[in-house]
Amino acid sequence: MVGWVREGAWVDRFRLLSCHASSAMGAVWRAEEAGTAHPVALKLTTRGAAAAARALQGIRHPHVVRVLAVGEADDHDFLAMDWVEGRPLTTWLQEAPAWREVLEVLCQAGAGLGAAHRAGVVHGDFKPDNVLVDGAGAARVIDFGGAPRACGQTAGYLAPERSFGAPADPLSDQFAYCCAAYEALFGRLPFASRDERLFGAPAAPPEGPAATLFAPLRRGLQADPGLRYRDLDGLLADMANVCAPAPIGHPGHRS
């Protein structure tokens, strides 16, 4: 990062307070907006990211982090978002929440991702680390417009068509979402190897109450994008339906 990016520096109308995270692609700072005490997450990236991020400014959804401003500063692009006091889904899962709590968080994240798709925004790198869960158990999707690496952890969520050079779209996001949901519910990714992810079928999950979710997730994990759900709304509706309690008096009802 260049020399002016330091504590106390100004980026547009935002003053940098402390560096929260950094990588070769840029850094995320805790910042505050001029004239307010409003905490902001300010992401500095290499040039070229601002144009794609501008579409995020039009999204207002409780499960998508709110974008306040997008612009350029020196040789960087910046993206200012609401600061969310939360933990990545991966960290939250370490507390071993009940599976219905996990499902609620997943459905919230899916609703946010679906809202982005309806606004014409593709995530491109959906994974558990890009879902923040706050203290009230509410999820927010972050880091839209990411570029998944061909190797490493992110590759486990990459749709097969993207491995062959296809651009990110809502159907590849759906595949990544189903990988993340499967992992959150069952403790492992649905595919044990790259070849299985590209050409095989997802592994059947262990028996348990959450196993009923395998049917809709399996459809979202089809290698052929044309066999997946048309959109996330259909997937989320089926996930809700298979988990709905049976009516009293119905053979499947349990008290």
Could you tell me if residue 204 is left (phi over 0), alpha (psi between -120 and 50 degrees) or otherwise beta? beta
Residue recorded with tokens 């500095």: 44
Distance CA 120, CA 123 (A): 10
Could you tell me the two tokens for 223? 């290698």
Nearest to 184 by CA among 67, 53, 95: 95
125 catalytic? Reply is yes
Distance CA 4, CA 73 (A): 10
Tell me the H-state helices in 3-73. Answer: 50-53
Distance CA 46, CA 77 (A): 6
Which amino acid makes up residue 161? E
Could you tell me the two tokens for 206? 């262990």
Nearest to 174 by CA among 128, 124, 108: 124
Q: Which of 74, 77, 125, 238 is catalytic?
A: 125
Active site residues: 125
